[in-house]
Structure 1
């Protein structure tokens, strides 16, 4: 059945908004549909949308908590490995510490360095202990040394020092020809080596305590 749009439009123009009961059935039906749509739209905007946003925030929070949990779980799983590594480090540290002489053993270590120099046929010009330097748990004892000999003897001397049972390092090495004596002359030596031989000793409990107190000041 064809709908006369012009007639419908004329009916709309003559509607009495104060008396909906007199409206034609099709107008009341159309108005009801619009009202239902408006109610649904309002409900979504004021109720459903708010719930949706809360659900979205809750989902994001859940993802963040899950990520945090997984991160902590990985750390917990690696804890045993960390503990094993720590034990290895403590063991290695203990072994290194046992290589450091105590205060009473320093004189013997310096004597070992002197004997090593003599065994390699080097002439000693200077062997001068310097002021010791206190670190956290050990002390450095630098010794200024100047020896004269040929290149191979000097190289063996440095190598033999590195092989001592106690830790000794040779630093700030300089080599220079011996003044006034050409290589090959009777009794002449080829090179003069100046260096710093550092020995180390561990600190006793009292010294460690004093060192810690100085660090806190």
Structure 2
């Protein structure tokens, strides 16, 4: 029995001697079978690697998509969590806007406001050398009325006048201030007192129309 095994092993080994690699069709049965098995194994291995490579790429894409969805979810959660705070901020802004709107006089109240500015200067002992309201400049939500003025007086009187104007219940801002000493040791101030008023209904309608036209023109230009 052992002799037969040695003979078979010797016969099998002899089949691998002197193989011509360029003519595998001439090989004995054992080398051809072994080569076929190895070739099949290589094909299976390459196919397996290709299959799992595609699977890993797909897994990577799915993980990226999962991370993107996670970030989007967290963003939505944060927005919901901040919803009450955003509503409170909106409410506060609306209250501030309403307060500012109440501080804007209408057309009929402008004369009284300009009189208050003039009175504030006279009450501080200032001399008005110029007090000239200009034409209103219409803005989207209000109108500006610049008043060119020039006053003379002592330094502290000019300072108190500016403080009084800033403290008026209506909004008036001093712009383009120019200060100069006078010959008698006093102080001269030239400035533009910018007063603001609310738009009347016709002006509001005109501004809405202009805004709509601007939006339409922008949309048309984007096409």
Q: TM-score, normalised by structure 2?
A: 0.79
Displacement of 1:191 in angstroms is: 1.7
Q: 2:95 aligns with which of 56, 66, 91?
A: 91
1:186 is aligned to none
Displacement of 1:29 in angstroms is: 6.5
1:204 is aligned to 200
2:127 is aligned to 123
Aligned length: 205
What does the per-residue CA deviation read over 1:11-59, in whole Å, with 9 as the maximum and x for residues that have no partner?
6459x95477x524xx467436514422421331453333332222222
Displacement of 1:107 in angstroms is: 0.7
Q: 2:190 aligns with which of 188, 194, 197?
A: 194
2:59 is aligned to 55
Moved over 6 A (4+): none
Name the structure where helix makes up a greater proportion of residues.
2
What does the per-residue CA deviation read over 1:70-102, in whole Å, with 9 as the maximum and x for residues that have no partner?
223222322222221111111111111111111
Displacement of 1:124 in angstroms is: 1.2
Rounded Cα–Cα distance in structure 2 between residues aligned with 1:46 and 1:117: 90
Higher mean displacement: 145-154 or 63-72:
63-72
Are 2:116 and 1:112 aligned? Answer: yes
Rounded Cα–Cα distance in structure 2 between residues aligned with 1:71 and 1:182: 68
Name the SS for the 2:91 alignment partner: helix
- In structure 1, stretches of 5+ residues that fail to align are 184-189
Q: CA RMSD in A?
A: 3.0
- In structure 2, stretches of 5+ residues that fail to align are 1-5, 215-223
Rounded Cα–Cα distance in structure 2 between residues aligned with 1:17 and 1:127: 114
Rounded Cα–Cα distance in structure 2 between residues aligned with 1:19 and 1:13: 8
Are 2:184 and 1:182 aligned? Answer: yes
Q: TM-score, normalised by structure 1?
A: 0.81
